[in-house]
């Protein structure tokens, strides 16, 4: 391998952990493809016209030790005070057993979204627990398994109310007691859709004027109010009511459902998920049964497998943006699965009594704090509250706030006179005393004597919650540890096998990248602390952004979007803002190739644009003639095109420059979906080939592990002319509205991507891209003849993924992609991406992190499946009763009667399956249709578990 000396050093010392194949293996793989050198393959694959001119360079790659040292030095510039700022973010204790067994456990954090239910039963159960917890606490029938944050959940609730309400109004009412970031995100979301937002006091709400209203419970300044009458008025006017509720408060307070609410949303952050300077945290949404089909996000449901046994799976998948495109309920794709799992485990760990005890303790501490302040002569508002109080200190505000900081405490500055204080699970007597001192009082906290409650009588909760037995495990550590282990063992994540999902870039990240995430300097910062307490974050984000600019060829980055799809939405808003600033706000046509990811049209719809689809030619490339024609037709109103590069067909299209030129000529802007950046980093830059804006999926290309369906980060890069229109935030100076709750989205996972860049260096990242391309081309070459690659470049090359044409075996043997996907489970693999972007095919993306042996194991599995299909086609085995149709096989299959025309060994140990470390799926093939007909989205009764 002709490495230059510098390359060799970078490879050997810094990124050998990240890049799967060894130098020798690479040479062997290249031979199979027909090349001698890696660079020859790359030159043959990546068109000259789009090649990057200067190599990435930010100094040498760091060793693991140096990177950790450097990151710690930067982290230490964050000052970790006790934040009592509240406003939707609260101190919380992650139970160590959950920290270690979930958050720090690759079996949980490297899993994919549970689309393949048979290998996802563990996380599906945890997410079903989450839904049950949310349903119980909110008093509503059905909950989803997580949205991106509370503010976007509030905005989703607004658009859901618009879809579902019978009222014809275009006005949405927002309680002025909502958290400011919720109000701001709702406003951002409403404007392009033509929804008018009225922010006001609940008593001023005129129900007849609106299609819906949202109330915060408790309010951002601490008020707890019963909304029953207001909700009744809304219902009389055919409008819907949304309540944004704090789940901890709901342990003591009457639920939104009991007040008549139609939708409840909120954040589950304080259920054990660290503050993280704003995220990631799981938001929730719950609703009545009547509205379940218009609910955004993913819903876990209960169904049965082919033997009639209970099995979980994602319900109502046909509602998703993948399928419904611009008619989807929302563009939410990656959500916050890992954080939802943590929150659900917090509920399993504490149980209803524990949660109630925490809520009561938080409340009593707040009551004590209030009483002390009153004894000092301050007027505390409101009179009754849960955990938040407001004190009008007038001209003393600066003095009080500063004294608090000196005492190690952040209070909330509400306006020029008032300060807000929110207590939490972690508040100690010393904290309360320090607050009193900041207000000029020198008292001792007499906790024991003071067990006063100041909750509103009328709102006290008397309904039960978390009644399901899963929330009543024996509280011994042995039981919870084993429960989490059992669930993890049911699943197939990257810690067991390659997950070759095309377009998803399931690379295994280096463990070291996860270490800084849980450092208190990163995890214990409230998102709204003063800037001088977050200098470490600022330095990290600035440095990461610099590198991302260098990688993409853009001039500015916004780290606000919490997923790729959110990045799309934010990017299109940015374009929209730009057009408007030039008096061209009428531009509303978006050209999108038919092969686009479903989030593209769904996002375009969210900014009020009309999607005009562009055809692909027979080679899968954008039909440039069609593109030209449509751009011309819509020249007056062309807002943008959204293209993916390399294309979702896995090819570097030679015509990309032309497509960008045509778009610009007609006054449009070019959005390049950056989900496929893993094929470009170091070789080609979207900013150079004509893109004006792109999102990056840091949870794909930049190593943030997928978490079983989130968290993610979808920062956008833009050219300078768009920079002024990037998302702003009410907590910062801003022109444009925010798209997320927190100014930097989910900053506590940024250390992962930052560490990746530091450890790899520019040369290492470039090498990763080359090896990703090598691995994909190797698979395409090895499977040629058995499963041909559908689309290639003129040279016969693919980019970092390949679409395997499995339709011939469907025709000859009746073997569907589903059958292949399920049989791969027997072989010990997660299936590739199914039927996207081409129906009846499999899209395979190995990533650079897979060693040759694992890729070979996969190829052998695919070849054996091809042979099995041939046996069916040749009539050697029954067309219905065969290993493919019966897959996956469970242990239960083996111990029963065996009347199949193939052996038990053939069933369970096909090529690829490990003899000793065989992965055994816990259920047989799951029946999706049954589950959708009999929708159950909370934990089934214990009687159903008897078999287990």
Ligand X SMILES: *Cc1c(COP(=O)(O)O)cnc(C)c1O
Question: How far, in Å, are 272, 334, 670, 675, 866 from residue 338 at the CA level?
Answer: 12, 11, 33, 21, 36
Print the binding letters for residues 150-189 with ligand X: x by CB under 6 A, - otherwise.
----------------------------------------
User: By CB under 6 A, is residue 503 in contact with ligand X?
Assistant: yes
Complete DSSP assignment for 302-348: EEEETTS-EEEEEE-GGGSHHHHGGGSS----S--HHHHHHHHHHHH
CB of 947 to ligand X, least distance (A): 35
The per-type count for the chain, helices as H runs and strands as E runs, is 28, 26
Kindly state the smallest distance separating residue 113's Cβ from ligand X, in Å: 8
Q: Nearest distance from residue 940's CB to ligand X, in Å?
A: 29
DSSP lists the bridge partners of residue 171 as 196
Please confirm whether the linkage preceding 888 is cis (ω < 30° from 0). Answer: yes
* C-beta closer to ligand X: residue 169 or 334: 334
Q: Is 524 in the site for ligand X (CB under 6 A)?
A: no
Specify the DSSP class assigned to residue 48: G
Give the contact letters, 585-614, x = binds to ligand X (CB under 6 A), - = no.
Answer: ------------x-x---------------
**CA dist., res. 196 & res. 191, Å (int):** 7
- 79 to each of 74, 276, 529, 537, 742, how far by Cα in Å? 11, 13, 9, 10, 18
Report the residue closest to ligand X, judged by CB. 564
Q: Which is nearer to ligand X, 326 or 673 (CB)?
A: 673
Cβ closest to ligand X, residue 425 vs residue 568: 568
Containing 484, the helix (H) or strand (E) segment is: helix 477-489
Minimum separation from the CB atom of position 43 to ligand X (A): 25
Question: CB 693: neighbour CB atoms within 10 A?
Answer: 32
In angstroms, give the least distance from the CB of 682 to ligand X. 20
Residue of 85, 557, 565, 672 that binds ligand X (CB under 6 A): 565
- Beta carbons within 10 angstroms of residue 550's beta carbon: 17
Q: If we measure between CA atoms, which residue out of 48, 70, 49 comes closest to residue 58?
A: 70
Q: CB-wise, 129 or 566, nearer to ligand X?
A: 566
For residue 548, say if its preceding peptide bond is cis, omega within 30 degrees of 0.
Answer: no
Cβ-based neighbour number of residue 703 at 10 Å = 26
Least distance in angstroms from the C-beta of 101 to ligand X: 26
- Least gap, CB of 544 to ligand X (angstroms): 17
CB of 673 to ligand X, least distance (A): 5
Pattern 680-709, binding to ligand X, x per CB under 6 A? -----------------x------------
Minimum CB separation of residue 114 from ligand X in Å reads 14
Say how far apart CA 178 and CA 216 lie, in whole Å. Answer: 5
648 is a contact residue toward ligand X (CB under 6 A) = yes
Least Å distance, CB 521 to ligand X, is: 27
Closer CB to ligand X, 506 or 813, in the complex: 506
Q: Which is nearer to ligand X, 419 or 749 (CB)?
A: 749
Least distance (Å) between residue 296 CB and ligand X: 13
Q: How many CA atoms lie within 13 A of 368 on its CB side?
A: 25
Q: Is 753 in the site for ligand X (CB under 6 A)?
A: no
End-to-end CA distance of the chain: 54
Using alpha carbons, list the distances in angstroms from residue 705 to 300, 334, 547, 690: 21, 12, 20, 30
CB of residue 268 vs ligand X: minimum separation in angstroms? 20
Residue 712 as a binder of ligand X (CB under 6 A): the answer is yes
Q: Per rule CB under 6 A, is residue 714 in the interface with ligand X?
A: yes
Nearer CB in complex with ligand X: 88/714: 714
Measured from the CB of residue 714, what is the shortest distance to ligand X in angstroms? 5
Number of residues that bind ligand X (CB under 6 A): 15
Part of the chain binding ligand X (CB under 6 A), chosen from 97-105, 144-152, 154-162, 560-568: 560-568
CA distance 28 to 34: 10
**Host H or E run for residue 243:** strand 240-245
Please say which residue, 597 or 885, places its beta carbon nearer to ligand X.
597
- For ligand X, the closer CB: 122 or 564: 564
Residue from 138, 303, 422, 644 in contact with ligand X (CB under 6 A): 644
Q: Is 675 in the site for ligand X (CB under 6 A)?
A: yes
Residues 330-349 that bind ligand X (CB under 6 A): 333-334
Q: State which of residues 564, 593, 745, 921 lies at the interface with ligand X (CB under 6 A).
A: 564
Specify the residue, 653 or 673, whose C-beta has the smaller distance to ligand X.
673
Residue 640's nearest CA partner among 599, 678, 680, 611 is: 611
| Piece of the chain touching ligand X by CB under 6 A; list 30-38, 405-413, 563-571, 616-624 | 563-571
Instruction: Tell me the C-alpha distance between 669 and 691, whole Å.
Output: 8
Q: Return the range that interacts with ligand X (CB under 6 A); candidates 281-289, 540-548, 562-570, 617-625.
A: 562-570
Are the beta carbons of 716 and 490 closer than 8 angstroms?
no
Cβ 599 to ligand X shortest distance, Å: 5
Site for ligand X contains 563 (CB under 6 A)? yes
| Contact call for residue 254 and ligand X (CB under 6 A) | no
Smaller CB separation from ligand X, 151 or 563? 563
**Angstrom distance (rounded) from CA 371 to CA 638:** 61
Q: Which stretch binds ligand X (CB under 6 A): 77-85, 558-566, 719-727, 877-885?
A: 558-566
The kind and range of the H/E element at 891 are helix 891-895
Q: Which is nearer to ligand X, 146 or 644 (CB)?
A: 644
Can you tell me the distance from the alpha carbon of 870 to that of 170, in angstroms, rounded to the nearest whole number? 59
Give me 517's structure tokens. 């995430």
Stretch that binds ligand X, among 184-192, 287-295, 557-565, 653-661 (CB under 6 A): 557-565
Please report how close the Cβ of residue 503 comes to ligand X at its closest, in angstroms.
4
Residue 571 binding ligand X, by CB under 6 A: no
User: For 381-445, what is the HEC assignment?
Assistant: ECCCCCCEEEEECHHHHHHHHHHHHHCCEECEECCCCEEEEECCCCCCHHHHHHHHHHCCCCCCC
| Residues contributing to the site for ligand X (CB under 6 A) | 333-334, 503, 563-565, 597, 599, 644, 648, 673, 675, 697, 712, 714
């Amino acid at each position: 391998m002709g490495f230059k000396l510098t390359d060799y050093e970078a490879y050997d010392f810094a990124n050998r952990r990240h890049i799967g194949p060894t130098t020798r293996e690479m040479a062997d793989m290249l031979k199979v493809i027909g090349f001698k050198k890696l660079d020859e393959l790359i030159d043959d694959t990546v068109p000259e016209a789009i090649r990057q001119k200067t190599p990435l360079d930010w100094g040498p790659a760091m060793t693991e030790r140096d990177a950790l040292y450097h990151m710690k030095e930067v982290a230490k510039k964050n000052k970790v005070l006790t934040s009592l700022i509240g406003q939707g973010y609260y101190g919380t204790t992650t139970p160590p057993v959950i920290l270690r067994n979930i958050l720090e456990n690759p079996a949980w954090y490297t899993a994919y979204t549970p689309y393949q239910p048979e290998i996802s039963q563990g996380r599906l159960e945890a997410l079903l627990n989450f839904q049950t917890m949310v349903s119980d606490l909110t008093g509503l029938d059905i909950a989803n398994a997580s949205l991106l944050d509370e503010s976007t959940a509030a905005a989703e609730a607004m658009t859901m109310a618009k879809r579902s309400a019978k009222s014809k109004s275009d006005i949405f009412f927002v309680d002025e007691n909502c958290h400011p970031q919720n109000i701001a995100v709702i406003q951002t979301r409403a404007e392009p859709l033509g929804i008018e937002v009225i922010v006001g006091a609940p008593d001023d709400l005129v129900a007849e004027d609106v299609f819906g209203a949202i109330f915060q419970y408790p309010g951002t300044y601490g008020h707890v109010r019963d909304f029953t009458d207001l909700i009744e008025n809304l219902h009389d006017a055919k409008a819907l009511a949304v309540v944004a509720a704090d789940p901890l408060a709901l342990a003591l307070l009457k639920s939104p459902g009991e007040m008549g609410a139609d939708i409840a949303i909120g954040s589950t952050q304080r259920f054990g998920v660290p503050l993280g300077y704003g995220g990631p945290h799981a938001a929730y949404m719950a609703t009545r049964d009547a509205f379940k089909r218009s609910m955004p996000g993913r819903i876990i449901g209960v169904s049965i497998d082919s033997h009639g046994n209970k099995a979980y799976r994602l319900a109502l998948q046909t509602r998703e943006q993948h399928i419904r495109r611009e008619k989807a309920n929302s563009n939410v794709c990656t959500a916050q699965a890992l954080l939802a799992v943590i929150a659900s485990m917090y509920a399993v760990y504490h149980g209803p009594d524990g949660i109630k005890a925490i809520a009561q303790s938080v409340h009593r501490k707040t009551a004590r704090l209030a009483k002390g302040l009153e004894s000092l002569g301050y007027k505390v508002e409101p009179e009754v509250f849960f955990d938040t109080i407001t004190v009008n200190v007038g001209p003393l505000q600066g003095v009080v706030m500063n004294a608090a900081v000196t005492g190690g405490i952040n209070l909330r500055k509400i306006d020029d006179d008032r300060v807000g204080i929110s207590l939490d699970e972690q508040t100690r007597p010393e904290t309360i005393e320090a607050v009193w001192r900041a207000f000029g009082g020198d008292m001792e906290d007499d906790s024991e004597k003071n067990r006063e409650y100041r909750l509103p009588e009328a709102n006290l909760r008397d309904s039960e919650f978390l009644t399901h037995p899963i929330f009543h495990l024996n509280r011994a550590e042995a039981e919870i540890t084993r429960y989490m282990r059992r669930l993890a063992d049911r699943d197939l994540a990257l810690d067991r096998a390659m997950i070759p999902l095309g377009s998803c870039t399931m690379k295994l990240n280096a463990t070291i990248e996860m270490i800084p995430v849980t450092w208190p300097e990163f995890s214990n910062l409230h998102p709204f602390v003063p800037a001088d307490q977050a200098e470490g974050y600022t330095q990290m984000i600035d440095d990461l952004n610099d590198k991302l600019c260098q990688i993409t060829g853009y001039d500015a980055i916004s780290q606000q979007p919490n997923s790729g799809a959110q990045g799309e939405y934010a990017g299109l808003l940015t374009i929209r803002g730009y057009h408007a600033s030039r008096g061209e706000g009428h531009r509303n046509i978006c050209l999108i190739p038919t092969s686009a990811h479903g989030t593209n049209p769904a996002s375009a719809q969210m900014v009020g644009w009309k999607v005009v689809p562009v055809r692909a030619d027979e080679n899968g490339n954008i039909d440039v003639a069609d593109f030209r024609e449509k751009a011309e037709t819509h020249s007056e109103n062309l807002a943008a095109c959204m293209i993916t590069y390399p294309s979702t067909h896995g090819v570097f299209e030679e015509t990309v420059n032309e497509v960008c030129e045509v778009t610009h000529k007609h006054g449009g802007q070019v959005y390049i979906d950056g989900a496929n950046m893993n094929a470009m980093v170091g070789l080609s830059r979207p900013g150079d080939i004509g893109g004006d804006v792109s999102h990056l999926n840091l949870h794909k290309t930049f190593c943030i592990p997928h978490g079983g369906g989130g968290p993610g980060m979808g920062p956008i890069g833009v050219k300078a002319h768009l920079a002024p229109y990037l998302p702003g935030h009410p907590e910062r100076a801003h022109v444009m509205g925010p798209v997320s709750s927190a100014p930097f989205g989910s900053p506590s996972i940024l250390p992962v991507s930052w560490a990746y860049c530091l450890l790899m260096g520019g040369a290492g990242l470039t090498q990763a891209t080359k090896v990703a391309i090598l691995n994909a081309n190797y698979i395409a070459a090895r499977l040629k003849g058995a499963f041909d690659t559908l689309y290639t470049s003129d040279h016969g090359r693919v980019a970092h993924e390949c679409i395997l044409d499995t339709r011939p075996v469907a025709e000859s043997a009746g073997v569907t992609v589903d059958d292949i996907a399920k049989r791969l489970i027997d072989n010990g693999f997660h299936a590739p991406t199914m039927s996207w972007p081409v129906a009846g095919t499999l899209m395979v993306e190995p990533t650079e992190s897979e060693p040759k042996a694992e890729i070979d194991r996969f190829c052998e599995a695919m070849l054996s499946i091809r042979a099995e299909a041939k046996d069916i086609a040749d009539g050697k085995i029954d067309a219905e009763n065969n290993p493919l149709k019966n897959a996956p096989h469970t242990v239960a299959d083996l111990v029963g009667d065996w009347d199949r025309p193939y052996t038990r060994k053939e069933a369970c140990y096909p090529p690829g399956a490990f003899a000793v470390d065989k992965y055994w799926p816990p259920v047989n093939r799951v029946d999706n249709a049954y589950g959708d007909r009999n929708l159950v989205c909370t934990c089934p009764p214990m009687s159903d578990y008897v078999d287990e």
